[in-house]
């Protein structure tokens, strides 16, 4: 299937999926979809029709460019005071395999990555009970001084809330202090699914969905852009998926501060939910497509190859995605839960994957400024 210019919703879609007639009409007219439309898209058996619609929406909203960046992940510690059942990464302090990097080790690793040309460091870890706000301020400050050209995308809303609790101050004050130390933007982890029912089952000790949204709203108010995510493939219902997307869409309407949306596939291995099968490849593609159609105010939608595998991420480019994330280099969180993708993608891997499906590659920085364009 080509994702190139000229893709239109085929009349065949309406013949094989007549239940989508009104949704097709709205997408073609550029009208906003409502919750019932979202549920139809989640439930129709005709996944290809959903994909075609999403591909059309992507083409209209964002054209034919597909983005990637040269980045690296630094997971500074897996010690975590809360125990999310879906997580294979977090450890208690004394548990075998628990680790915490020193500020010097983080700096050294960052410098190695900078020498390889990264434009972004993605820095996240567990809710470490003993690493105070001052540790992160000092770390960000040293990174900014040593590597002024590298964007520091660091600390999820969950970590921000945790640091606020440790410091006895509010999250806005934490964000201000980290921003002054060099924080460039917030990653989107910790959103999971906003439904209180889902959170009670998969991450009962984590901040609420409401709190996650509030912290992102505060960040946007300070000019700190962020990413939105949604974990899927655990226990959520179709309604809970659509409610989550609508909550993100509403905040984006109000602040415009989200740069991209990233659907995150649950990987069950080594987690407290390992009896669940996890999402199918079809679920992965549907989630990308439904998100593209519901999140009409997000320009960039990532197919995160670490969780999807590079091959399925390439297919997702025909289902509404237009960003393959970055080179990543060494990722622990998904791989400990059984992700079978490699640890790194090279620029050449991205160029090939994008060109093979007839789209146009562009290397971006964290803020989606084009660093380098390539021919199709």
209 binds ligand SF4 (CB under 6 A): no
What is the full DSSP assignment across 95-133? Answer: STT--B--HHHHHHHHHHHHHTT-SEEEEE----TT--H
Draw the binding track, 147-176, toward ligand SF4 (x: CB under 6 A; -: no contact). -----------x------------------
The dihedral through the CA atoms of 153, 156, 157, 160 has a sign that is negative
The distance of closest approach from Cβ of residue 27 to ligand SF4 in the complex, given in angstroms and rounded to an integer, is: 34
Stretch that binds ligand SF4, among 57-65, 84-92, 108-116, 299-307 (CB under 6 A): 84-92
Task: Report the SS3 class of residue 373.
Answer: strand
Alpha carbons 311 and 371: distance in angstroms, whole number:
25
Total of chain residues touching ligand SF4, rule CB under 6 A: 12
Return the number of the residue (98 or 173) whose C-beta is nearest ligand SF4: 98
Indicate which single residue of 23, 87, 265, 321 sits in contact with ligand SF4 (rule: CB under 6 A).
Answer: 87
233 binds ligand SF4 (CB under 6 A): no
Indicate which single residue of 39, 82, 92, 238 sits in contact with ligand SF4 (rule: CB under 6 A).
Answer: 82
- Could you identify the residue written with the tokens 């400990």? 336
Return the number of the residue (87 or 354) whose C-beta is nearest ligand SF4: 87
Alpha carbons 98 and 254: distance in angstroms, whole number:
40
Return the number of the residue (80 or 301) whose C-beta is nearest ligand SF4: 80
The distance of closest approach from Cβ of residue 322 to ligand SF4 in the complex, given in angstroms and rounded to an integer, is: 27
The distance of closest approach from Cβ of residue 213 to ligand SF4 in the complex, given in angstroms and rounded to an integer, is: 17
- Close Cβ partners of 222 (under 8 Å, ≥ 6 residues apart): 172, 175, 176, 179
Return the number of the residue (183 or 203) whose C-beta is nearest ligand SF4: 203
Q: Which CA distances in Å does 36 have to 23, 40, 137, 143? A: 10, 6, 45, 47
Site for ligand SF4 in 36-75 (CB under 6 A): none
Alpha carbons 246 and 292: distance in angstroms, whole number:
12
Stretch that binds ligand SF4, among 46-54, 83-91, 98-106, 261-269 (CB under 6 A): 83-91
The distance of closest approach from Cβ of residue 74 to ligand SF4 in the complex, given in angstroms and rounded to an integer, is: 14
The distance of closest approach from Cβ of residue 206 to ligand SF4 in the complex, given in angstroms and rounded to an integer, is: 6
Indicate which single residue of 83, 93, 141, 347 sits in contact with ligand SF4 (rule: CB under 6 A).
Answer: 83
Stretch that binds ligand SF4, among 26-34, 85-93, 168-176, 237-245 (CB under 6 A): 85-93
Site for ligand SF4 in 259-298 (CB under 6 A): none
- Could you identify the residue written with the tokens 């996944």? 47
Stretch that binds ligand SF4, among 7-15, 36-44, 76-84, 365-373 (CB under 6 A): 76-84
Q: For residue 259, what are the β-bridge partners?
A: none
Site for ligand SF4 in 176-205 (CB under 6 A): 203
84 binds ligand SF4 (CB under 6 A): yes
Tokens matching residue 61: 């909203």
118 binds ligand SF4 (CB under 6 A): no
Put the strands of the sheet holding 151-154 in their side by side order: 71-75, 120-124, 151-154, 185-186, 225-232, 258-265, 300-301
Q: Are 307 and 339 in contact (CB under 8 A)?
A: yes
Indicate which single residue of 68, 89, 194, 232 sits in contact with ligand SF4 (rule: CB under 6 A).
Answer: 89
Q: Are 321 and 288 in contact (CB under 8 A)?
A: yes
- Close Cβ partners of 300 (under 8 Å, ≥ 6 residues apart): 62, 67, 259, 260, 261, 322, 323, 368
Return the number of the residue (69 or 127) whose C-beta is nearest ligand SF4: 127
127 binds ligand SF4 (CB under 6 A): yes
**Over 64-101, what HEC string results?**
CEEEEECEEEEECECECCCCCCCCCCCECCCCCCCCEC
In degrees, rounded to 5, the angle at the alpha carbon of residue 285 between the alpha carbons of residues 283 and 290 is 90
80 binds ligand SF4 (CB under 6 A): yes
The distance of closest approach from Cβ of residue 330 to ligand SF4 in the complex, given in angstroms and rounded to an integer, is: 17
Which residues here bind ligand SF4, judged by CB under 6 A? 80, 82-84, 87, 89-90, 126-127, 158, 203, 206
């Amino acid at each position: 299937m080509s994702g190139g210019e000229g893709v239109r919703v085929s009349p065949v879609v309406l013949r094989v999926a007549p239940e989508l007639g009104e949704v097709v009409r709205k997408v073609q007219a550029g009208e906003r979809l409502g919750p019932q439309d979202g549920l139809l898209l989640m439930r129709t058996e005709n996944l290809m029709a959903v994909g075609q619609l999403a591909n059309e929406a992507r083409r209209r909203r964002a054209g034919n460019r597909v983005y990637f960046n040269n980045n690296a992940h630094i997971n500074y510690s897996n010690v975590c005071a809360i125990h999310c059942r879906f997580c294979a990464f977090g450890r208690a302090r004394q548990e075998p395999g628990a680790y915490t990097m020193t500020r010097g080790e983080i700096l050294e690793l960052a410098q190695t990555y900078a020498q390889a040309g990264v434009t972004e460091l993605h820095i996240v870890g567990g809710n470490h009970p003993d690493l105070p706000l001052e540790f992160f301020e000092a770390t960000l400050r040293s990174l900014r001084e040593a590597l002024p050209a590298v964007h520091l995308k660091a600390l999820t809303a969950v970590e921000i809330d945790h640091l606020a609790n440790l410091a006895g101050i509010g999250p806005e004050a934490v964000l201000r202090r980290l921003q002054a130390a060099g924080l460039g933007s917030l990653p989107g982890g910790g959103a999971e699914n906003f439904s209180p029912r889902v959170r009670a089952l998969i991450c009962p000790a984590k901040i609420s969905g409401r709190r996650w949204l509030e912290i992102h709203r505060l960040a946007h108010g300070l000019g700190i852009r962020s990413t939105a995510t949604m974990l899927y493939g655990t226990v959520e219902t179709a309604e809970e998926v659509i409610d989550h997307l609508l909550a993100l869409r509403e905040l984006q309407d109000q602040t415009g501060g989200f740069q991209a949306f990233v659907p995150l596939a649950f990987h069950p291995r080594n987690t407290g939910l390992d009896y669940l099968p996890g999402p199918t490849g079809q679920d992965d593609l549907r989630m990308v497509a439904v998100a593209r159609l519901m999140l009409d105010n997000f320009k960039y939608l990532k197919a995160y190859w670490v969780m999807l595998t590079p091959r399925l991420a390439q297919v997702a480019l025909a289902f509404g995605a237009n960003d393959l994330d970055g080179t990543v280099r060494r990722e622990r969180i998904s791989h400990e839960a059984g992700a079978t993708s490699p640890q790194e993608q090279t620029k050449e891997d991205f160029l090939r994957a994008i060109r093979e499906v007839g789209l146009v590659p562009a290397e971006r920085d964290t803020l989606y400024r084009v660093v380098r364009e390539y021919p199709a």
